[in-house]
Amino acid sequence: MKLQSKVLMIIAGVWIVICLVIYIDSKMILESDYQKIEQKLALKDIHRVQKAIDNRLAALQLYTNSWSEWDDAYTFMTAINDKFINSSFTPGTFTSSNINFFLLFTPAGKFYAGKAYDLNQKAFIPVPRDLINYLEAHPAFVTHASITSSHTGILKTQEGNIVMSSLPILTSDGKGPIHGALLMGYYLTDNFFKKITETVELKVNFLPLPLSPSNNLLNTAYSHLIAGENYYLTPKNNEIAYGFTLLRDINNQPLGLLQIETPRTVYNEGVNTIYHYLTIVVILGVIILLTMMLLLKILVLNRITNAIKQVITINSQSDFHKRIKISGQDELTEMISAVNCMLEVIELSQEQLKYRISRRTKDLERLSHLNRNLFQEMSKQKTIEEKLRQDEKLLRQIAYYDTLTELPNRTFFNELLQQALNNAERHHKKLAVLFIDVDKFKKINDSYGHEVGDKFLKQIAYSIKNALQERDIVARLSSDEFILFLNNVEDREAIANRIAAILASLTLPIQIDNIKINPTFSIGISLYPEDAQTAEELINKADLAMYYAKKLRQYALLLRRYRKFTLYRPSQLGVHVGVVIHTA
């Protein structure tokens, strides 16, 4: 085997080993890290689903509260009044709030009056006797020891799973003594989880107990959850992962499994990045291998081959006035020089001088050639470094900013908010978090198309950003949700002035492609440190305030229709304030 082939095999073998080591390291470490990130995101999605369910239960409790604290209901519990029943238990009462049951119980926990309504048939139905028997058999749910008592949750009855809320019957001023309990509820149907799916924008399925014995996946998830684990995560395929958690009734007994489908976007992007990285490494390896072979051939192998040919020619012709010509200053040159010295003993001094001149000329040519190669290598390296810097900038833009509005995304916003909280804690400053939701954005998309909807969102983002001060930050969380925080707010008056500037910018009509849109918004606000101490709590309470603001405006519409509704400040529910903006 020729020397050139041996050298090529050795270099190629070393590079293959290096590529294998890089590949194994990437699979064992990087891919594992992406799986951990995927699991964290899946856990956040499960928390979002649980929070959406809790919000639905809180909404039912809020609506029940508007009826339980009412003088007419308080008086009715002392004597049955048909006029009250006919005016209160109307079809509109049930359809407007999507409830199936309206029940009244005595302070002793006995059924007093009530009605049931079939939302599908649009007709009254008899109150299920099994439900009454269940409630009377469990008086803890229909009796209240204090005026602040409340029971809200899911009941498992023979009629099926029912979402119920129970509150004490008080006067319109919220005073006692307690005259019994008022219950409102509805059946837990697929429509309930369909609305949860629409809220969290993830597919949510409810799988009631008992589970099918043939479904190994569901039974495995249930065995983990029933053993004490809060969540169970497992991949379905390369595109989707399953998250499981238990849905429990008011007695903390399991009703079934909540199955959440989450996309494996981060994991797939990570795997693609790994293979992209390995591809670049392999390509660079091939380029380096070819370059090394080319330089090795030019600088070493060709010189050796050329020297061997000259030695053979001189030996065969016995022409000792010739010299072996070779460039470089290394061991090979020293060996050839020793051979040439033996030839110089025979030749004249003139021939020796010519040889030296010729060798100097060859040295200059070699140095010129090496300089050109070095310049080419430096140019290639500079091009590669520039490409890597551009790729790094693009990856940062994708990871930290929203592609449509170019605002920070949820991840970047959370980092900035945590930094702002740390600064506010050190300097004893206040900070406000605003959660903004565009009302009826889906209607805008359906009416004018997604292109107009995208332009609309970009205009909203532009308006909010222009209304903020230099250190304030706004981000886009999802399709129609924005969140921002205000730095260095001194007092509530200063906060009100800052928010007024934002509202003034948002309430202006928007003109898009000859289409005039009067947007409406729901805003929730939480303050640091009055309402919460951590970034997660501030965001959650601002989100909850926005949710109640939206609900209170809907209930206000009902109030104008039925005139039997009492509004309560959201601060009573543990959040700072909710604001509804309606410019239509």
Enzyme catalytic residues? 480
Give the Cα separation of 543 and 525 in Å (integer): 8
- CA pair distance 366, 370, nearest whole angstrom: 6
* Residue in the structure block whose two tokens are 């900035």: 416
The residue among 523, 501, 507, 528 whose CA lies nearest residue 577 is 523
DSSP string computed for 178-222: ---EEEEEEE--HHHHHHHHHHHTSEEEEEESSPPTT-HHHHHHH
CA dist 115 and 100 (Å) reads 8
Check: CB of residue 578 under 8 Å from CB of residue 546. Answer: yes
Q: DSSP for 495-511?
A: HHHHHHHHHHHHTS-EE
Q: Is 188 helix (H, G, I), strand (E, B) or coil?
A: coil
Buried b (16+ CB within 10 A) or exposed e, 394-411: eeeeeeebbeebebbbee
List the alpha helices (DSSP H) in 318-409.
Answer: 331-344, 349-400
**Which pair of structure tokens corresponds to residue 372?**
């050109």
Contact 277, 184 (CB under 8 A): no
Query: Which amino acid appears at position 323 of this protein?
Result: R
What is the torsional sign of CA 107, 98, 259, 480?
negative
Q: Does residue 257 sit in helix, strand or coil?
A: strand
- CA–CA distance, 465 with 546 (Å, rounded to integer): 20
Encoding tokens for residue 545?
């305030």
CA end-to-end span of the chain: 87
At 505, the amino acid letter reads S
> Strand, coil or helix: what is 9?
helix
Angle CA 565–568–570, to nearest 5: 140
Give the Cα separation of 570 and 526 in Å (integer).
11
Backbone angles phi, psi at 129, to 5 degrees: -65, -35
Q: What is the token pair recorded at 395?
A: 């990856």
Task: At 309, give phi and psi (nearest 5°).
Answer: -65, -40
